[in-house]
Amino acid sequence: MADQKLIVIVENCTGCGICEGVCPYGAIEVVDGIAVVYENCTFCGICVESCSFEALELVGGEGAEKKEAPTGYSGIMVYGEVLNGKLSRVSLEILGVARRLAEKRKCDVTALLIGNDVKRFAPDLIRYGADRVIVAERNDLDRFVDERYADIFSKVVEQYRPEIVIGGATAVGRALFPRVAAILKTGLTADCTDFDIEEGTGLLLQTRPAFGGNIMATIKTEYTRPQMATVRPRVFKPLPPENREGEIIEFHCDGYSPSFYKAVIDVLVTEGENVNLEDADIIVSGGRGVGSKENFKIIFDLAKELNAAVGASRAAVDAGWIPYPHQVGQTGKTVSPKVYIACGISGAIQHQAGMKSSDFIIAINKDPDAPIFDIADLGIVGDLFEVIPELIKEIRKRRGN
């Protein structure tokens, strides 16, 4: 069954090299005018589709051919994440895109709330697009404990059988969803930035960036259900809230007794500054150009003026000027605010990977050749220590008017 092969039909191969270029794994190469398949081939079939000469063929793996998706699954389920007693914005964003998908798929949208004292958020979920809300409340669900939440989540899915399950690619979502997916033995696509319903099959097409945002990939879950995905916050917009009718269902689920012990014994909320960068409308970020920990005050000042969150480049974090939770980029956070103001940041590709998808990028940098200007919608060639104080003055002036 696993003995799949990718075969090169030598008579047909022209050595054009298109397959070599499309292979995401670098597993095919043209050698002496003929395609050669290496053993890191994953049989994804992308090359087969790309070949105009029918020179590539996937054989074997009959198991895969005969697979069929289980039936009896329908509808879209959206996970309503409650964090620190607040409904996450990303849940509303997902309801927006879920409604669009539901229209195409001709199905309804269910939201799921898990926690203690979370029923009060059900009306909001309905206003933003849910046809019904399932509420799983229990007093041991006060804090997010991955295993307990995943246990309930998977039971809800087993009972209600949604075809599609979507949640936010937040710290919670990215811990909870893989746990649920593994319990249900189904596919999960992380951090999606676009969705569609495939014509004909009705399958969910899930598009996400990979390789640090250098490529985009579209992914399908064909033979298992539900089709699960997490969504990058701020990519979709919530629909305007409406007064809609919706059903609220209580889900009772007792008797969770795992063979291990796990507990959240304390919750430390970082006060004062907003470190929830993924959720911020505006981010003011500082880099090595800021020069010192003390100097970061100017970044915080501007952020405060704009009611923005504070970000940083890796250089600034590694220098100890600002803690890691503020880091944006490949080894930090991925953000897509309305406005990203990069101050004293060169815009290395690893930093860009974390902020390129912002709606509007403003860069303040002394070096006119800094790569950040290649992607900035507004480039300001200047000294941040001169420009920012002027900017704060200017903002106050305009607000005063």
Partner 1 sequence: MNIVVCIKQVPDTQDVKMDPERGTLIREGVKSIVNPFDLYAIEEGLRIKERMGKGRVVVMTMGPPQAEDALREAIAMGADHGILISDRAFAGADTLATSYTLAKSIEKLGSPWIIICGKQAMDGDTAQVGPELATWLNFPQITYVSKIIDMGDDRIKVERLTDYGYDIVESSLPCVITVNKEINEPRLPSLRGMMKAKKFKAEVWDSSSVEVDRRYIGLDGSPTRVVSIFAPPVKKGGEKYHGEPDELARHIARKLEEIKII
Ligand X SMILES: Cc1cc2nc3c(=O)[nH]c(=O)nc-3n(C[C@H](O)[C@H](O)[C@H](O)COP(=O)(O)OP(=O)(O)OC[C@H]3O[C@@H](n4cnc5c(N)ncnc54)[C@H](O)[C@@H]3O)c2cc1C
> Rule CB under 8 A: which of 6-45 touch partner 1?
18, 20-24, 26, 39-44
Instruction: Establish if 202 lies at the interface with ligand X (CB under 6 A).
Output: no
Under 8 Å between Cβ of 185 and 225? no
Site pattern 186..225 for partner 1 (x: CB under 8 A):
xxxxxx-------------x---xxxxxxxxxxxxxxxx-
Instruction: Establish if 380 lies at the interface with partner 1 (CB under 8 A).
Output: yes
Read off the tokens for 332: 């930090």
Piece of 184-192, 308-316, 324-332, 393-401 that binds ligand X (CB under 6 A): 184-192
Instruction: Establish if 142 lies at the interface with partner 1 (CB under 8 A).
Output: no
Q: 138: how many CB neighbours lie within 10 A of its CB?
A: 16
Q: For tokens 């605010």, what's the residue?
A: 337
Instruction: Establish if 383 lies at the interface with partner 1 (CB under 8 A).
Output: yes
Q: What span, in angstroms and rounded, lies between the C-alpha atoms of 221 and 197?
A: 12
Among 242, 268, 294, 320, binds partner 1 (CB under 8 A): 268
Instruction: Establish if 189 lies at the interface with ligand X (CB under 6 A).
Output: yes
Instruction: Establish if 259 lies at the interface with partner 1 (CB under 8 A).
Output: yes
Residues 6 or more apart in contact with residue 122 via CB below 8 angstroms: 111, 113, 133, 135, 246, 248
Q: List the single partner that 14 binds among ligand X, partner 1, none, CB under 5 to 8 Å by kind.
A: none
Residue 115 assigned ligand-binding role: no
Instruction: Establish if 306 lies at the interface with partner 1 (CB under 8 A).
Output: yes
Residue 351 assigned ligand-binding role: yes
Sites for partner 1 among residues 229-258 (CB under 8 A): 258
Q: What span, in angstroms and rounded, lies between the C-alpha atoms of 77 and 184?
A: 15
Minimum CB separation of residue 181 from partner 1 in Å reads: 7
Residue 174 assigned ligand-binding role: no
Instruction: Establish if 375 lies at the interface with partner 1 (CB under 8 A).
Output: yes
3-state secondary structure of 400: helix
Quick one: DSSP state of residue 272? S
Site pattern 215..244 for ligand X (x: CB under 6 A):
--x-x-------------------------
Under 8 Å between Cβ of 220 and 199? no
Instruction: Establish if 107 lies at the interface with partner 1 (CB under 8 A).
Output: no
Among 12, 159, 270, 292, binds partner 1 (CB under 8 A): 270
254 burial (CB, 10 Å; 0-12 / 13-18 / 19+) is exposed
Among 12, 33, 34, 40, binds ligand X (CB under 6 A): 40
Closest CA to 34 of 58, 14, 18, 61: 14
Q: What span, in angstroms and rounded, lies between the C-alpha atoms of 22 and 11?
A: 21
Among 103, 182, 244, 297, binds partner 1 (CB under 8 A): 182
Instruction: Establish if 262 lies at the interface with partner 1 (CB under 8 A).
Output: yes
Among 24, 33, 63, 85, binds ligand X (CB under 6 A): 24
What are the φ/ψ torsions at residue 101 (nearest 5 degrees)?
-65, -40
- How far is CA 79 from each of CA 32, 203, 234, 288, rounded to the nearest angstrom? 53, 20, 16, 39
Instruction: Establish if 51 lies at the interface with ligand X (CB under 6 A).
Output: no
Q: 227: how many CB neighbours lie within 10 A of its CB?
A: 25
Which amino acids are annotated as binding site for FAD, given as ranges?
A: 288, 313-314, 327-331, 344-351, 365
Can you give the binding site for ligand X, defined by CB under 6 A?
24, 39-40, 42, 187-190, 208, 210, 217, 219
